[in-house]
Structure 1
Amino acid sequence: MKFCSWEASRLLRLAAPVFFAQVTLVMMSVVDTIMAGQVSAVDLAALSIATGLWNPVVFALLGILTAITSLVAHSFGAKQDHEIRGHFQQGCYLAIILLLGGLALAQFADIVIDYLDTTAQVKALALDYIDYVQFGLPGFIIYTLLRNVAEGKAYTTPALYISVIGLLVNIPANYIFIYGKFGMPPLGGAGCGVATALVMTAMGLSLLIYSFLSKRLNGQTLFSAFSRPQIKAIWVQTKLGVPISLAIFFEVTLFACIPLFIATLGPIAVAGHQVAASVTTLLFMLPYSLSMAVAIRFGNLYGQQDFVALKRCLGTSFLLAIAIAVFVAAITYAFRYQISSLYSDNPEVIALATSIMVLACFYQLPDALQVVSSGMLRGIKYTNPISYITFVSYWLIGFALGYVLGRTDLIVEPMGPQGFWLGIIVGLSCAAVMLIFTLRRRLAQAPFNF
């Protein structure tokens, strides 16, 4: 692998706005966690369980729409701008289907929550959160649609602008609805659901307005002469997006479902895991942003049929991923105590969270390599292997091993949350190996000539 400073500069310019946008979005979750944790461990546990149910569904549904980014990137690279409007409009029809599916799934949340072995108070707060947050799904789908079009055109800054608006709405909304200010009832951790719904709506409307004001995004053209639904075009997007969606679902649920399986260990175990998961999710935005930039860059270069530049981008991307992984691991280890103390003042929660964060240092390298490899595969529209590789790695290997270590004595005495995180390390390592092998095999085929 060779490192190209110009290519690295290009990737970082694409990744930087994505990174700050994603950090801002994750910061909303961090704010939710901190503010709920300051109320009580019960509120924090309820928030962890509720987001553990809601987030996988939302991100899996919206993951299907990420196919638009690859399609737009190819059309943009090939200078076929007329195709971009068609991708967007057919994506709108697909988004309506996904919206209805997401709202339908939310109605079954009470059934799942009732089966959890936890206190009635935690169950009630978790269900209230989902009841509130679902009203923000239409706004978030609008935001996702327009963001995917913008990023497919290598225009990554709008997401940053809009995410700042979201954060500015999130903090006061959390304060009002968690603690019951300005005449609102105090909802505790469930108030984060109201705040998140307001944030999603504000972000969707803001990006919609921005699209009509921006010449580069050109919202007037996107919405003009709206075509009828085309089953073939919708199916192409679905076929390309479903493997990406499944990969996102498998990865999100790997972390999000752990609280459901450690709920019987009490609020301290759930809260400690939630703190560590929140921190590592925030730091994960560095390799994830690089992955997004790589997918965009690969898509543009593939559309241009510039395979020499594609090979140059590959080597540079992997070397950047390694550097980012080392940096993230160092930050996690060095500041684990200070960061954990921001979330909770409970010594037991802090002790558990910091021990988990030490384990998280060990999966940074395989995680960075696997997520960048996935971005490359998305960029060349070869997404089918991503879904089954992530399923096997995350669930059949990672989660299964984590459950054995965390909840049983088949290998060692039950390790609780730490056992699940050891499983995550093994699962992500397997994913990295399989995705890199798949990418190498694919790029060795014509017309790539790698």
Structure 2
Amino acid sequence: MQQTMTHKEKIIQLLHIFLPVFITQVGQYAMNFADVTMSGHASSSDLAGVAIGSSLWVPIFTGMSGILLALTPIVAQHFGAKRYEQIPHVVIQTMYLAIVISLAIIAGGAAALNPILNHMNLEAEVQQVAYDYLIALSFGIIPLFLYYVLRCFIDALGQTKITMFITLTALPINILFNYLLIYGKFGFPKLGGVGSGYATTITYWYSFFIAVIIVRRFQRFDRFNLFERFYRISFATWKKLLKIGLPIGFAIFFETSIFAAVTLLMSEFHTTTIAAHQSAMNFASFLYMIPLSISTALTIAVGFEVGANRYQDAKQYSFIGIGMAVSTAIVTSLLLYFFRGDIAKIYTNEQDVLFLTEQFLLYAIFFQFSDAVAAPIQGALRGYKDVNATFWAAFVSYWCIGLPFGYTLANFTSFGAFGYWIGLIAGLASGAIFLFFRLLYVQRRYKHVHHNENG
């Protein structure tokens, strides 16, 4: 990261941060895709077990890792203010916190996993695969969360190409060990879908070790002297991290869990409708990686400028990011409209499912514009360390507006299953509007502070 003077320089710098983040997101998506599809070639029970295990793990990981995202704006602001000596302390404290979170997840899983799976009334073979898959995954939870901390640190400095490199080198390792352990090749045990859990754990350990080597050996990290001295646990620092991180984590959890809730509520409809919903939602989630990556880039850029007390620059980055997201939303919406039939064919060849998937994809167009406004604003607000508004926006817009409205339309009107999508669209739109005015308020507040400081 460096200071920029013109709009053109800001656009170029934001793109330099955004593109590696986006490629990293796609790489992580590809890992999950490889786990599910390669398990499916072992057997349908392996596919179902891995899918169930993954659906239980992902909301927990995204929510709990969201707490650690507090590190990104903190480091970005220290970096912008040239407070380099404060960065290693907060990074190490976040790593301590990550270990505690990991151990809490492992302990919670040990106590709750069997009761949860028993409650789901799964076939015995599917339940066993899901259980063994999650047990295999648990051996990688600690390195995963430690890596996530180092990724936040690296990204906050604007070095997003490094995390892109780690992800792109981890992907073939994940696929290789999937191949060896799922199918039992070259003398390795044939573990079926459970093998993808161990392959993922190996990938987590690889990512963590590579990240440690990079921050210790690369010259661009020399000034931070990470891991060169021992820091005692600082509960005061943990409190600051949790004050920012908990609202972020809960906001992400509310966002991811609402889609899981809708999927569960959709179970009352025909299998064809559920399959079409899942297919369209999967592709919409893939497109969401674009505004999500812009959001991450804005947290870094805005945090850097706020730390340097360049509030006008932070404001310019915010609106450049929103403009980039809206521009891409126009393109993806046209893609969805004109090629929805071809997109549907990626997922199915059944005519009934194809037709319904195309209809759901039309509704997904409206997701594009709400996400294009809401996600970048969330990232910008995190750069300002303003996170409570995002938390309340996620809770109210999804759970108090979107879900009740969608349930009403789905069950008491002719919209049927499409009603849930209309509810989600209404929730997303209301959240985006609220966050937009919140951003304007925060920017005016910082402008006022800057005026008083220089007045």
TM-score calculated relative to the size of structure 1: 0.89
Residue in 2 that maps onto 1:211: 215
Following superposition of structure 1 onto structure 2, how do residues 313-392 of structure 1 map, counting pairs within 5 Å? 313-343=317-347, 350-392=354-396
Helix, strand or coil for the counterpart of 1:310? helix
- Assess, with a 3 A threshold, how the Cα gap between structure 1 residues 118 and 111 changes in structure 2: closer, same or farther: same
Following superposition of structure 1 onto structure 2, how do residues 206-355 of structure 1 map, counting pairs within 5 Å? 206-218=210-222, 221-263=225-267, 271-343=275-347, 350-355=354-359
Which letter maps to 1:211? V
Which letter maps to 2:94? G
Q: Which moves more between the two structures, 290-299 or 262-271?
A: 262-271
- Assess, with a 3 A threshold, how the Cα gap between structure 1 residues 216 and 400 changes in structure 2: closer, same or farther: farther
- Assess, with a 3 A threshold, how the Cα gap between structure 1 residues 316 and 149 changes in structure 2: closer, same or farther: same
Contact 2:85 2:224 in 1 (8 A): no
Instruction: Please give the alpha-carbon distance, in whole angstroms, between the structure 1 residues aligned to 2:207 and 2:283.
Output: 23
Contact 1:44 1:271 in 2 (8 A): no
User: Are positions 1:157 and 2:200 aligned together?
Assistant: no
Of structures 1 and 2, the larger Rg is shown by: 2
**What is the CA deviation profile of residues 239-293 of structure 1, one whole-angstrom value per residue up to 9, with x for unaligned ones?**
1111111111111212234444445657665554443333222221111111111
User: Are positions 1:85 and 2:88 aligned together?
Assistant: yes
Unpaired segments ≥5 residues, structure 2: 1-5
- Assess, with a 3 A threshold, how the Cα gap between structure 1 residues 218 and 276 changes in structure 2: closer, same or farther: farther
Residue in 1 that maps onto 2:413: 411
Instruction: Specify which of 440, 447, 450 is matched with residue 449 of structure 2.
Output: 447
Residue in 1 that maps onto 2:429: 429
- Assess, with a 3 A threshold, how the Cα gap between structure 1 residues 152 and 427 changes in structure 2: closer, same or farther: same
Contact 1:25 1:166 in 2 (8 A): no
- Assess, with a 3 A threshold, how the Cα gap between structure 1 residues 332 and 247 changes in structure 2: closer, same or farther: same
Q: Residue 348 of structure 1: CA displacement? A: 5.5
- Assess, with a 3 A threshold, how the Cα gap between structure 1 residues 63 and 399 changes in structure 2: closer, same or farther: same
Q: Which moves more between the two structures, 372-381 or 33-42?
A: 33-42
Helix, strand or coil for the counterpart of 2:288? helix
Unpaired segments ≥5 residues, structure 1: none
User: Are positions 1:73 and 2:73 aligned together?
Assistant: no
Residue in 1 that maps onto 2:11: 8
Q: Residue 224 of structure 1: CA displacement? A: 1.3
Residue in 2 that maps onto 1:20: 23
Instruction: Please give the alpha-carbon distance, in whole angstroms, between the structure 2 residues aligned to 1:23 and 1:332.
Output: 19
Instruction: Please give the alpha-carbon distance, in whole angstroms, between the structure 1 residues aligned to 2:155 and 2:320.
Output: 20
Residue in 1 that maps onto 2:3: none
**What is the CA deviation profile of residues 144-188 of structure 1, one whole-angstrom value per residue up to 9, with x for unaligned ones?**
111111111121111100001221122223333444434556555
Instruction: Please give the alpha-carbon distance, in whole angstroms, between the structure 2 residues aligned to 1:156 and 1:246.
Output: 25
Instruction: Please give the alpha-carbon distance, in whole angstroms, between the structure 2 residues aligned to 1:219 and 1:196.
Output: 33
Helix, strand or coil for the counterpart of 1:222? coil
Instruction: Please give the alpha-carbon distance, in whole angstroms, between the structure 2 residues aligned to 1:42 and 1:298.
Output: 47
User: Are positions 1:103 and 2:106 aligned together?
Assistant: yes
Q: Which moves more between the two structures, 179-188 or 27-36?
A: 179-188
Q: Which moves more between the two structures, 280-289 or 73-82?
A: 280-289
**What is the CA deviation profile of residues 380-402 of structure 1, one whole-angstrom value per residue up to 9, with x for unaligned ones?**
11111111110111222223333
Q: Which moves more between the two structures, 154-163 or 337-346?
A: 337-346
- Assess, with a 3 A threshold, how the Cα gap between structure 1 residues 345 and 172 changes in structure 2: closer, same or farther: farther
Contact 2:99 2:146 in 1 (8 A): no
Instruction: Please give the alpha-carbon distance, in whole angstroms, between the structure 1 residues aligned to 2:141 and 2:270.
Output: 31
Q: Residue 344 of structure 1: CA displacement? A: 5.0
- Assess, with a 3 A threshold, how the Cα gap between structure 1 residues 257 and 119 changes in structure 2: closer, same or farther: farther
Question: Aligned-pair RMSD on alpha carbons?
Answer: 2.7
Percent identity of the aligned residues? 32
Which letter maps to 1:106? G
Instruction: Please give the alpha-carbon distance, in whole angstroms, between the structure 1 residues aligned to 2:232 and 2:186.
Output: 46
- Assess, with a 3 A threshold, how the Cα gap between structure 1 residues 325 and 396 changes in structure 2: closer, same or farther: same
- Assess, with a 3 A threshold, how the Cα gap between structure 1 residues 270 and 183 changes in structure 2: closer, same or farther: farther
Contact 1:302 1:380 in 2 (8 A): yes
Instruction: Please give the alpha-carbon distance, in whole angstroms, between the structure 1 residues aligned to 2:406 and 2:43.
Output: 28
Instruction: Please give the alpha-carbon distance, in whole angstroms, between the structure 2 residues aligned to 1:57 and 1:50.
Output: 11
Instruction: Please give the alpha-carbon distance, in whole angstroms, between the structure 1 residues aligned to 2:389 and 2:232.
Output: 32
Instruction: Please give the alpha-carbon distance, in whole angstroms, between the structure 1 residues aligned to 2:224 and 2:305.
Output: 27
Contact 1:369 1:432 in 2 (8 A): yes
Which letter maps to 2:321? S
Instruction: Please give the alpha-carbon distance, in whole angstroms, between the structure 2 residues aligned to 1:352 and 1:187.
Output: 36
Contact 1:163 1:203 in 2 (8 A): yes
**What is the CA deviation profile of residues 90-115 of structure 1, one whole-angstrom value per residue up to 9, with x for unaligned ones?**
11111111111221232213322332
Contact 1:33 1:275 in 2 (8 A): no
**What is the CA deviation profile of residues 172-227 of structure 1, one whole-angstrom value per residue up to 9, with x for unaligned ones?**
23333444434556555444333322222221122122222212234981111121
Contact 1:250 1:394 in 2 (8 A): yes
